Amino acid sequence: MRKTALMMRKTALITGASAGIGLELCKVFAGNGYNIVLVSRNRQKLEQVARELENKHYLQATVIPKDLCEPTAPQALYDEIAAMGIVIDVLVNNAAFGLYGRFTDFSVRRHMGMIQVNITALTVLCKLFGADMVKKGAGSILNVASTAAFQAGPLLGSYYASKAYVLMLSEAMNSELRKDGVTVTALCPGPTQTEFFERNDMIGTNVAKSPWLMSAADVAAAGYAGLIKKKCIVIPGFFNKLLAFSVRLSPRWLPAEIVCYLNRKK
C-alpha cells in the first residue's frame, strides 16, 4: 500500500541536486509532496541528501549520479529513468558552472565543458522530457537561469552568455508548449549565497561582498512558487527585479561596465 501511495505522487527531476540552489529545490519539492530524482556528479552527497529527504518526508528519492559534462550523459539519464518506469512531471535544470577570469585565459576545452553543461545538456533534457510532457498533455520545466541573462558579464563572459541562452530558450518553449499543457519557467536569481564564489575563486570580489545576496533557500522557494503559478520568468528579490529592469533603460555599454566592477577583486 505504501508503494502504491508513493507511485501516485508526482515526480520532480532535479540536476545539480547535491548543493546550493539545487539542494534547496529538492527540499522545497519534497516538502510539497513530490518524489525526487536527484542528479549530480557526487554519488555520496546525493545519497546523503536522499536519506535526509526520505527521513523527513514521505517520499521516494532516487539517486542517479551523472556528469553532465559528458556528451552522452543527458541521453543516458533519460534512458535510465525510462528503464525504471519513472514518469517525470517536473524537470528542473539547475546544473551549471562558471569560468571566472578573462575569456581568452581559458582553454577551448574548459569553455566547451561549460557550454556542454549549461547549454547542451539543458537543451537535450528539455527536448527529451518536454516531448514526453507534450504527449501526456501536462508537465512543467524549471530552468535555472540568472539575472546574468540580462546583460554581458565581463570576467564571467561565457557564463553570462550561457544564462542568456537559458532565458531565451525558456521563453520560446513556454510560448510554444503552453497550449499543450506544458509550462516552462526561467528562474533568474541574482547573486546568491552558494558555493559559486568559492569554487570560482571569487571570494574577494565586490559582488561576493554585496549586502544584497539572497539565500539559496529563498531563491528556491521563489522558483517553486513561480512554477506553480505558471510564470514564465521569476526574478527573486526586489533589488534583483530593479536591476533587471534598469538594464532595459541603460545604454548597452553601461551594464557591462558595472558588472565588470562588481566581478573585480579589490
Per-residue pLDDT tens over the stretch 107-144: 999 999 999 999 999 999 999 999 999 999 999 999 99
237: left (phi over 0), alpha (psi -120 to 50) or beta: left
Contact 36, 30 (CB under 8 A): yes
Average pLDDT value for the chain: 95
pLDDT more than 70, % of the chain: 97
**For residue 93, what are the CA distances in angstroms to 97, 145, 163?**
12, 9, 12
pLDDT more than 90, % of the chain: 80
pLDDT tens digits, residue range 227-249? 999 999 999 999 999 989 988 88
User: What is the average per-residue pLDDT within 212-232?
Assistant: 97
Looking at residue 206, the DSSP 8-state letter turns out to be: T
The CATH number covering residue 222 comes to: 3.40.50.720
- Whether the full predicted model's pTM is greater than 0.85, yes or no, is yes
Q: Which three cell numbers stand for residue 214?
A: 539572497
5 pLDDT above the threshold of 60: no
What is the structure's pLDDT at 119?
Answer: 99
What is the structure's pLDDT at 2?
Answer: 53
* Structural domain count, the chain: 1
Sign of the Cα torsion 146, 40, 135, 162 reads: positive
pLDDT tens digits, residue range 180-196? 999 999 999 999 988 88
Q: Which of the two residues, 219 and 4, has the higher pLDDT score?
A: 219
pLDDT tens digits, residue range 77-105? 999 999 999 999 999 999 999 999 999 99
54 pLDDT above the threshold of 70: yes
Res. 1 pLDDT band, cuts 50 70 90: very low
What is the structure's pLDDT at 7?
Answer: 64
207 pLDDT above the threshold of 50: yes
Host domain of residue 215: 2-263
Res. 4 pLDDT band, cuts 50 70 90: low
**For residue 258, what are the CA distances in angstroms to 208, 250, 254, 262?**
14, 11, 6, 6
CA distance 15 to 91: 9
